[in-house]
Amino acid sequence: MNATVTSHMFDVDQDNFETEVLQASLKTPVLVDFWATWCEPCKSLGPLLEKLAVEYNGAFRLGKVDVDKNQELAGVFGIRSIPTVMLVKDGQILDGFAGALPEGQLREFLSRHVQPLDGESDEPPEEATAESPEQAINRLQQAIASEPDRTELKLDLALALAQAGHASAAETELNALPANLAIDARAVRLRSQLDLSRSLQDAPALEALQQRVQANPQDWEAHDLLGVRLLLSDDPAAGLDHWLLLLERARDWNDGQAKKRLLAAFNTLNDAELVGRYRRRMASLLF
């Protein structure tokens, strides 16, 4: 499969990922395809993605990552199999899937996030009525009861439960998802959020952790838990700093906990500039 470079498609590497994917996605969604020349499923998926990129006429751009040439980039994103496709919007991984989907499922996937650009409408957009998390939960539960075969609604329900603060119920729904939805980028992101929150279940308070770090700068557990507390409060950059320190000074501590925490944190943050800055700092330490 040859990566085609057009106005709607381009090759991605570590040098242009920040500008052409993360920053560019603030204006236009970017579909990132992790592929390789030897990958048979990639040979069927790639042309379909390229066809849809042309058909959607700029509603999204298609970025192609040859994993053999960009092993570091694939490693940072935890790519375990190819093809893997991620949709990046507003600087964050919004959705994704693994494997070669047929065209119908690809169109369904894209329709959840983007629409083809085939002309501009003069009609002003309708203002959506704000829906509370509890209202969303009730609506989704009723929809699932009437359409139990629509499994994607169960992921929506898990997300709504988490937003409403019902972590245990959200995790129950998440664990019950079918395999194809369990690897959905939204499910992966939610699991990361729940895992981070769960790690604080028996953790000391913020002040106690700060005192431990001051008393012993090599108290790696305190650095780790302090990172989680800060990330989930109002100082995410300070939390990320603790994991970068761990990555620099104790990379192998607790089976590489620092790298895992950083990758999970990137999936929970809604700040493209912050995530991009810390991705670069993480990459500089790893590579």
Which range of residues forms the domain containing residue 242?
A: 206-286
Which residues in 230-267 are b (16+ Cβ under 10 Å) and which e? bbbeeebeebbbbbbbbbeebeebeeebbbebbbbbbb
From 39, 76, 185, 264, the catalytic residue: 39
42 belongs to the catalytic site: yes
Band the pLDDT of 198: cuts 50, 70, 90.
confident
Same domain, 273 and 229: yes
Same domain, 171 and 243: no
Domain tally for the chain? 3
Same domain, 31 and 82: yes
Q: Taking the CA atoms of 256, 260, 261 and 266 in sequence, report the sign of the dihedral they define.
A: positive
CATH number of the domain encompassing residue 218: 1.25.40
What's the per-residue H, E or C state across 207-240?
HHHHHHHHHCCCCHHHHHHHHHHHHHCCCHHHHH
- Flag whether 172 is in a domain: yes
Band the pLDDT of 286: cuts 50, 70, 90.
confident
What's the rounded mean pLDDT across residues 41-62? 89
Q: What is the pLDDT of residue 32?
A: 93
- Flag whether 189 is in a domain: no
- Flag whether 82 is in a domain: yes
Distance CA 238, CA 227 (A): 7
* Strands 84-89, 30-35: pairing kind: antiparallel
CB atoms within 10 A of CB 32: 22
- Flag whether 15 is in a domain: yes
260 belongs to the catalytic site: no
Give me 175's structure tokens. 């664990």
| Residue of 177, 162, 38, 41 lying closest to 99 (CA atoms) | 41
Instruction: Quote the strand ranges of the chain, DSSP E.
Output: 9-11, 30-35, 61-66, 84-89, 92-98
Q: Record the pTM.
A: 0.49
Same domain, 14 and 100: yes
What's the rounded mean pLDDT across residues 196-212? 90
Radius of gyration of the chain (CA): 20
Residues 6+ apart with CB under 8 A from 190: 158, 159, 162, 170, 174
Residues 32-47: tens digit of each pLDDT: 999 999 998 898 899 8
State CA 170 to chain mean position distance.
18
From 42, 187, 244, 264, the catalytic residue: 42
